[in-house]
Chains A and B, each alone.
Chain A
């Protein structure tokens, strides 16, 4: 496809001619151990414009912005500010050069006041005898001034915790503006905002545009892009696809360019023959309004069901709720036609479910314990000899068998799991659940952060399990994996199941992406 670059001397939405780029990134490359995250990416920002940066999960959008902001050091590539080559080593330098960032995950100091958050790390001081003390009066006055600049009016002494997420975001923006930033990066700012708060954000962005500020706007929401963006740059798998004027692009065009990759088939061949329905979830709704709502789906025996969607679509939260780790307001779960009240993971486990979590380090591995303890923890109930004494020989046998079966690379079962590679750790967690032998296994991003060889082995295990008649629910943000492994796909967006793809003909990247962006 012809990546046509928007030429200099374009025209912004107000019809005012603008010349030259305020900021240019050229040929940015960045590698992490094992992956090339960015490969020759370009980005050119015109003053007084909103530049949408788009791409799938893992396309490298945030990585690029972190390189610009000096959080990551780029391996190759150049930054030009006002046509002059510059180097940004850390966020402080970025701020000093007029580049500010409103992060996806806000990092506020909740119990402290609005003003203190605005001036964190650069408190205005005054002399108090020989001491330098914080000048609260100036700080509060300055805060009011900058808040007014973005059309806001809070008491600077209010603790930040009293504000909504949207209001906190406007404070972040006011902070960016107070740095006299010429370039502001918004990393998915609307993901947790209400409609009204989005309007406020857009009003502020429009005002900033009129003042000549260049903004990078990362979002997956197509309608927002159509409303606010002047230019669109699309990235895919860490590479630069192209830059276009927003008004020339339809939603379909954008999706096609985001996903347009060749799917190489590295997935094991299989003939899954789904049997009767084993799990049925009806109208599962979270106790939180912004989380999963009204989700219904079924899973059959011997079937691999994929859950697709963008990061933040609440897929993990839904599965954790079904597994009893989160509270639900309403909804029913049936296993083999019988209603199950999970409530705690232990009860879910006894009902025949298993969950391999997304955050392996956070709630998967027992880091300082041995492989044996990590596998055994799920089966101590069944392996008791006379009352309370553990049947160590049987447990050893089970652990030894799973090490062989899953070809876990380790000197012995006494090895600490923390010393293994990510792929082997994941296999140990899989072994934990295989030992427990659940009927339904939830696998949340089962191959995240795992090398290709181990990935393939995990796919083989999944196919094998399905062949044995187990039901597998897989969450995957990797499009190829989702389409390559699933017999059926549900796609979630914004807490709702937006679509189900049953026909293998229909299982296309475009289809998944269009459901995934149905906000």
Chain B
């Protein structure tokens, strides 16, 4: 069915992207350095780890939930990766006298540990009917406490070069961290569209009662969603560590809110059932490009927060319109 082009619909559907494109064009005219290799590199690195968080949280949002524990899980993931990957000769080494671990093995350990915490969150949500908001809130506190006890609140540093090189070394002009996030996006797309799990996730988001009647294993699917999301947060923590060359317990604080906002800006509906991988990608890009553009335009750093809030209002109001009008 060929749909007629409708300017109003076009603005409602692509308004946010349009604003983003215009802003990028405007900023690159006003400030020559905006399109420099160094800056684009930096923006890409910012996007990469945040995209991984958003893709994790997108699963929770699609099932009409949320995940407040994401930020603290990132902190934990970053710290675990940190202690495992410190140089042997680093003076204030966390594990005195050990050898740095294989980087891939360290990553797997990080993701498995955070996934375990995610499984617990999901168990409380699915089997004990604790609302996601509360279950993930509780896990947020627990994970933070564990991280404080574990690291004694000491900042970590002195990473092996193979770890930090993930942010600097490039393959085909693109930093390795960015490649990681691209791989995660592809895997997410595959899970969302090509597996039972993904289809069940959308069904639960659309109508959990109907999904159950149709034979969807609702509880198991919910646990898997939160476990998978937590594994992604662990990975994101690992990536932040590589990018900044260090980690502390406060790494990731508040990132869950940014990720939820990015998802919704891109079109993942908080009422459940709607949202794609591309929604998360668009949302994160809009967010990060906006931040960078405002910085380059010399907007007061504190006022930038206001701009972000305004964008969320506009984007979500437009997004909700799409669905409300259809009823």
Contacts and interface: CB of A to CB of B under 8 A. Distances in A.
A416 B272 CA distance: 15
A366 B209 contact: no
A380 B200 contact: yes
Interface string B190-205: 0000111101101100
B199 A366 contact: no
Given A363-B207, A366-B207, A366-B273, A345 B199 contact: no
Contact of B206 (A346, A368, A378, A390): A368
Interface string B209-245: 1111111110000000000000000000000000000
Contacts of B202: 366, 369, 373
B149 interface: no
A442 to B, nearest CB: 11
A325 B208 CA distance: 13
Contacts of A34: none
A494 B214 CA distance: 28
A325 B215 CA distance: 11
A269 interface: no
A1 interface: no
Nearest to A380: B196
A302 to B, nearest CB: 24
Given A362-B209, A389-B195, A432 B1 contact: no
A412 interface: yes
B273 A363 contact: no
B207 A384 contact: no
A436 B326 CA distance: 30
A419 interface: yes
B10 interface: no
B323 A345 contact: no
Contacts of A422: none
Contact of A412 (B1, B195, B216, B274): B1
Contacts of A436: 215
Contact of A366 (B203, B269, B323): B203
Interface centre among A325, A362, A369, A432 (most CB of B within 10 A): A369
Contacts of B210: 357, 362-366
Contact of B212 (A345, A392, A419): A345
Nearest to B1: A411
Contacts of A325: 212-213
A377 interface: yes
A124 interface: no
A155 to B, nearest CB: 32
A377 B203 contact: yes
A367 interface: yes
Interface centre among B206, B273, B326 (most CB of A within 10 A): B206
A377 B196 CA distance: 9
B188 to A, nearest CB: 14
B25 to A, nearest CB: 34
A390 B195 contact: yes
Contacts, number: 85
Interface in B286-327: 323, 326-327
A377 B216 contact: yes
A376 interface: yes
Contact of A377 (B197, B214, B323): B214
Contacts of B323: 368
B213 A381 contact: no
Contacts of A344: 212
A35 interface: no
Contacts of B213: 323, 325, 345, 355, 357, 363-364
A368 B274 contact: yes
Nearest to A376: B199
A367 B273 contact: yes
Nearest to A410: B1
A416 B322 CA distance: 13
A377 B1 CA distance: 25
Interface in A415-433: 416, 418-419, 432
Given A377-B203, A384-B196, A368 B214 contact: no
Interface residues of A, number: 35
Contact of B209 (A349, A363, A369, A392): A363
Contact of A373 (B199, B209, B215, B326): B199
Interface string A434-446: 0010000000000
A355 B212 CA distance: 11
A388 interface: yes
A248 to B, nearest CB: 48
Contacts of A323: 213
Contact of B196 (A345, A349, A362, A390): A390
A388 B209 contact: no
Contacts of A380: 196, 199-200
Contacts of A411: 1
A350 B1 CA distance: 38
Contacts of A419: 326
Contacts of A366: 202-203, 206-207, 210-211, 214, 273
Nearest to B269: A368
Interface string A380-410: 1100100011101000000000000000000
A416 B327 CA distance: 11
B1 A367 contact: no
A369 B194 CA distance: 16
Contacts of B195: 388-390
A365 B211 CA distance: 8
A376 B202 CA distance: 12
B212 A367 contact: no
Contacts of A412: 1
A357 B207 CA distance: 14
Given A389-B194, A412-B1, A377 B211 contact: yes
Interface string B236-273: 00000000000000000000000000000000010011
A325 B214 CA distance: 11
Contacts of B273: 366-369
A412 B274 CA distance: 19
Contacts of A418: 326-327
Contacts of A416: 326
B1 A369 contact: no
A412 B217 CA distance: 28
A368 B64 CA distance: 13
Contacts of B207: 363, 365-367
B193 to A, nearest CB: 8
A256 B323 CA distance: 49
Contacts of A378: 214-215
Nearest to A350: B215
Contacts of A367: 206-207, 273
Contacts of A357: 210, 213
B270 to A, nearest CB: 13
Interface in B40-99: none
A270 to B, nearest CB: 28
B46 to A, nearest CB: 32
5 contacts: A367-B273, A373-B202, A377-B214, A388-B195, A389-B194
Given A325-B212, A363-B209, 6 more contacts: A366-B214, A367-B206, A368-B274, A377-B215, A388-B197, A418-B326
The 4 closest A-B pairs by CB, nearest first: A366-B206, A363-B209, A349-B215, A380-B196
Interface of B: 1, 194-197, 199-200, 202-203, 206-207, 209-217, 269, 272-274, 323, 326-327
